[in-house]
Amino acid sequence: MKGKFLVLLSVLLLTSVLPSFAKAETYNFTYSNFFPPTHVQSKLAEEWCQEVEKRTDGRVTISYFPGGTLTRANQCYDGVVQGLSDIGLSALAYSRGRFPVMAVVDLPLGYKSGVAATKVANAVYEKFKPAELDDVHLMYFHAHGPGLLHTAEKPVRTLEDLKGLKIRATGNSAKLVSALGGAPVAMSMPDSYQAIRRGVVNGGMYPIETNKGWKMAEVVDYCTLNYPVAYTTTFFVVMNKEKWEELPEDIQKIITDINKEWALKHGQAWDHSDQLGKEFFEKKGGKFITLDEAEGNRWKQKAMPMMDEYIKNVSAKGVDGKAVLDFTVTELNSIQK
């Protein structure tokens, strides 16, 4: 009788302990990011990792790899799909043509802040849930502040002033420069500093934060506030779909809540960086040029073919490009009103 009691007691103890073991299961992930570790966006990504570990009581731990040490910027998305990293942060533009719906966000729609651009990017995704991202679990998007025209020596106040100038620009910003009458020259940001200093190009199209982040304010003299056609660049944070689905629902909810907070933090950080870039630009003697309303409308008209091209290209892929563009413009106007 005593033996049976001991067996029953052992079973009861074991069954009471097993749920505790299940709850204590830990998940270890890797996070790849191309930003250098000192960049504010990289620091925010690292803080995200720490916040996830904190709020899950250590049930999730993340090894963080900044500076492209695990996968390069243009390899990051596929790296997550293939499991080279579990989580990744990079720019959609590095896989140009692959994300037809989300590409709308990078058009020169007249962004005034990183917060606005970030809200628009996430709103577009929530509205259309594009199949182009079905091979990952999307955590969130964020986007930098307005991409603006910077020039050395020659101020640009009108389209005529820009005509023929060689401007460092890539992707959509290159298309914009071309549409406005300039001559886009593709080159990396590290190469741009010397190219402008030596007069190889006359300036560049980039967000104001770059003036300090890349010291561009040392080689440019003017910034044309071309807000009517200001563009952005959309950055993604995605997770390997199978790894996400392995997580229990309570952890998924915790991470989803953190994602909502961090998207806004990234947008705010872009705007803070822009403010620092503005101050550094002015400290170096840089001057801002404001377009009057009539001139701004001229720039918008010149950029319209880019919108038409977007609609045509994505419609050929089975996407209602007009509906996507109309929603994005309406959403941006609502946020910025």
Give the span between the Cα atoms of 262 and 256, in whole angstroms: 10
Region of poorest pLDDT, from 7-21, 89-103, 123-137: 7-21
Pairing of β 183-185 and β 147-151: unpaired
- Residues in Cβ contact with 9 at an 8 Å cutoff, skipping those fewer than 6 apart: none
User: Would you identify the CATH topology of the domain 147-231+284-336?
Assistant: D-Maltodextrin-Binding Protein; domain 2 (3.40.190)
84 class by beta-carbon count within 10 Å (0-12 exposed, 13-18 middle, 19+ buried)? middle
For position 65, what pLDDT does the model report? Answer: 98
> Does the pLDDT at position 272 exceed 90?
yes
Averaged pLDDT score across all residues of the chain: 93
Asked whether the CA dihedral 178, 328, 231, 101 is positive or negative, the reply is negative
- Which two three-digit tokens encode residue 122? 């996430």
What pLDDT sits at residue 189? 81
Q: Nearest to residue 50, comparing CAs of 42, 40, 58?
A: 58
pLDDT at 33: 96
Digit-coded pLDDT (tens) for 141-160: 999 999 999 999 999 999 99
Task: Name the CATH code of domain 27-143+232-274 (choices 3.40.190.170, 1.20.1090.10, 3.40.50.720, 3.60.20.30).
Answer: 3.40.190.170
Rounded average pLDDT over 77-87: 97
* Rounded distance between C-alpha atoms, residue 232 and residue 145, angstroms: 6
**Which among 102, 157, 104 has a CA at the least distance from the CA of 130?**
102
Question: Which tens digit of pLDDT belongs to each residue from 198-254?
Answer: 999 999 999 999 999 999 999 999 999 999 999 999 999 999 999 999 999 999 999
Binned at pLDDT 50, 70 and 90, residue 171 comes out as: confident
pLDDT, one tens digit per residue, over 274-322 is 999 999 999 999 999 999 999 999 999 999 999 999 999 999 999 999 9
For residue 17, the model assigns a pLDDT of 46
Please determine, for residue 53, whether its predicted confidence score (pLDDT) is greater than 80.
Answer: yes
| pLDDT score of 96 | 82
Q: Do domains 27-143+232-274 and 147-231+284-336 have the same CATH topology?
A: yes
- The CA distance from 222 to 160, in Å, is 16
Residue 260 pLDDT more than 80? Answer: yes
8 Å CB contact between 309 and 178 = no
What pLDDT, on the 0 to 100 scale, is given for residue 3? 54
Instruction: Please give the distance of CA 185 from its chain centroid, rounded to a whole number.
Output: 23
Q: How far apart are the first and last CA of the chain?
A: 80
How far is 142 from 119, CA to CA, in rounded Å? 8
- Per residue in 11-28, pLDDT (tens digit) is 444 444 444 444 569 999
The tokens for 83 are 């499991």
**Strand pairing category for 147-151 and 222-225:** antiparallel
Q: Which residues contact 180 (CB under 8 A, 6 or more apart)?
A: 159, 162, 229, 299, 302, 303
Ramachandran area for residue 285 (φ above 0: left; ψ -120 to 50: alpha; else beta): left
Q: Provide the residue ranges of all domains of the chain, joining segments of one domain with +.
A: 27-143+232-274, 147-231+284-336
% of the chain exceeding 70 in pLDDT: 93
Q: Which pLDDT score is estimated for 128?
A: 97
CA angle 33, 55, 120 (to 5 degrees): 50
For residue 2, pLDDT beyond 60: no
